Structure 1
Amino acid sequence: MSLNAAKKKHFRSIGHNLNPVVMVADKGLTEGVVEETMRALNDHELIKVKFAIGDRDARQQLISQLLSATNSDLIQTIGKIALIFKPAKKPNPTLSNLLRVQ
């Protein structure tokens, strides 16, 4: 999905108040991490993922791998936090970070 600059800016403003719901640590992208990320994206559509990896290049590579594994879009990275988005097929108004804010 191609996101324009205005949509990304809107998502960044929503993401500012979110806390990370998934954490990727030393073991990298395990099957459990990918599954939990997919579950969180299906529920919330817009989530933060924390990468507890010190090496910047390794962190960027893991972010790219997670995006391709979940078929999601990167909105923004700040330090060790990535804000990612994937539209839900049937968003739940009580869980979706996008619907709750509007």
Structure 2
Amino acid sequence: MALTGKQVRQLRALAHHLNPVVHIGKADVTDAIAKQAEEALDAHELIKCSVQDGSLLSCREAADQLAELVGAEVVQVIGHRFSLYRASSRKDIEHIKLG
């Protein structure tokens, strides 16, 4: 599902206030990182991640790899942080209504 420009702007605004919940270090994108991101996306739909200085990947490379592994869309990449979005199928959370 490709996001429209309007949807990306909306998600960027929502992600601005988030703190990173997934930290990618020198081990780069591992199965454990992907599992952690999966759980966070299921619970929140929109998450912020950070790439530590020890990582061999650039922030864009890490964002693309992780998004592909968990089936999410990269919303934004700034500096050492990036945001991912994936609609959740859970009924017990408040879903983000995209415009």
**Band the TM-score falls in, shorter-chain normalisation:** 0.7 to 0.9
Q: Percent identity?
A: 24
Following superposition, the deviation at residue 63 of structure 1 comes to 1.8
CA RMSD of aligned residues (A): 1.8
The structure whose residues are more often helix, as a share, is 1
Partner AA of 1:50 in structure 2: S
- Paired with 2:54 and 2:35, the residues of 1 have a C-alpha distance of 23
Query: Where does the alignment leave 5 or more consecutive residues of structure 1 unmatched?
Result: none
Following superposition, the deviation at residue 65 of structure 1 comes to 1.1
Following superposition, the deviation at residue 54 of structure 1 comes to 6.2
Deviates more, 1:58-67 or 1:72-81: 58-67
* CA distances 1:54-91 after superposition (whole Å, capped 9, x unpaired): 67x82222221111101100010110100110000125
Following superposition, the deviation at residue 44 of structure 1 comes to 0.3
Q: Which residue of 2 aligns with 1:62?
A: 62
Following superposition, the deviation at residue 34 of structure 1 comes to 0.6
Give 4+ residue runs of structure 1 displaced > 4 Å after superposition. none
Query: Where does the alignment leave 5 or more consecutive residues of structure 2 unmatched?
Result: none
Q: Which residue of 1 aligns with 2:10?
A: 10
Q: Which residue of 2 aligns with 1:36?
A: 36
- Paired with 2:24 and 2:67, the residues of 1 have a C-alpha distance of 13
- Paired with 1:72 and 1:49, the residues of 2 have a C-alpha distance of 13
- Paired with 2:14 and 2:61, the residues of 1 have a C-alpha distance of 25
